Amino acid sequence: MKETQIIRRANIKDIEQIINLANKEPYFKAEKEDETLCFWPKETLEQMTRTPDTSVFLVSETINNNQITGFVISQYWETGKKATFENAYLKPEHRRTGLYKQLGDAMIQELKKMGCQFICAFPETENSISTKSLSKNFGFAKGKTYHWMMKEL
Ligand SMILES: CC(C)(COP(=O)(O)OP(=O)(O)OC[C@H]1O[C@@H](n2cnc3c(N)ncnc32)[C@H](O)[C@@H]1OP(=O)(O)O)[C@@H](O)C(=O)NCCC(=O)NCCS
């Protein structure tokens, strides 16, 4: 049986563990030089922990041993009352256990408390697990299909 998980806001001390987990996850790695990196630099993650009004950055951890088992990250734009669901991750042994739903529901509750009225997510078309788990767990519906265009500044 899985140990009890607690869900809480991420803090700066968690960042090293989070980076180590993300580094092991193939999905977060850009395979070619011109591909967009799907994950964040350390400084950005640290900044998110200091800006709870614009970032909902939650972790799950195994009770009593401080081992992070997963995280979700969303960014909130207060003026537009809109959030983007940026990243979700669970350690492989915690997938398909219901923990993702708990983490995502907690994130949605936080966003609602902040006044958020709309959440968008942009799962890669190749990542069908991401698309399925967004619709099955949280009721995300597929919207229009857009091109991801980018320009470095
Ligand atoms: C995305 C992620 C957080 C989802 O968590 P999860 O615990 O695996 O997903 P859930 O158990 O909540 O899945 C919900 C549904 O998604 C689909 N799904 C999930 N994993 C699947 C798999 N390995 N194969 C096929 N379908 C799958 C199923 O429809 C599932 O419902 P079911 O179990 O009733 O069949 C997790 O898979 C993960 O960390 N992946 C690596 C990082 C990543 O891709 N992040 C997303 C983009 S940032």
Here the tokens at position 31 are: 């395979």
Tell me if 96 CB under 6 Å of ligand 1: yes
Predicted confidence (pLDDT) per residue in 103-123, tens digit: 999 999 999 999 999 999 999
Q: What is the pTM of this model?
A: 0.94
Tell me if 95 CB under 6 Å of ligand 1: yes
Tell me if 7 CB under 6 Å of ligand 1: no
Tell me if 140 CB under 6 Å of ligand 1: no
On average, the pLDDT of the chain sits at 93
Confidence band, pLDDT 50/70/90 cuts, at residue 135: very high
Tell me if 129 CB under 6 Å of ligand 1: yes
Compute the distance between CA of residue 59 and CA of residue 102 in angstroms, rounded to an integer: 11
Sign of CA dihedral 96, 3, 91, 131: positive
Here the tokens at position 19 are: 């980076």
Tell me if 62 CB under 6 Å of ligand 1: no
Nearest CA to ligand 1 atom 23: 129
Give the mean pLDDT of 45-52. Answer: 98
pLDDT at 32: 61
* Strand arrangement of the beta sheet that strand 67-77 belongs to: 5-9, 55-62, 67-77, 82-90, 118-121
| Residue 34, pLDDT above cutoff 70 | no
Ordered by where they begin, the domains of the chain are 5-138 (3.40.630.30)
Here the tokens at position 33 are: 């030089």
Predicted confidence (pLDDT) per residue in 66-94, tens digit: 899 999 999 999 999 999 999 999 999 99
Here the tokens at position 61 are: 């951890």
Query: 92: CA distance to ligand 1 center in Å?
Result: 10
Query: 53: CA distance to ligand 1 center in Å?
Result: 28
| Residue owning tokens 């470095």 | 152
| Residue 25, pLDDT above cutoff 80 | yes
Tell me if 90 CB under 6 Å of ligand 1: yes
Name the region of 81 (left: φ>0; alpha: ψ -120 to 50; beta: rest).
Answer: left
Give the mean pLDDT of 98-103. Answer: 98
| Residue owning tokens 């537009």 | 80
Nearest CA to ligand 1 atom 14: 133
Least confident window among 19-23, 32-36, 109-113, 119-123: 32-36
pLDDT at 30: 64
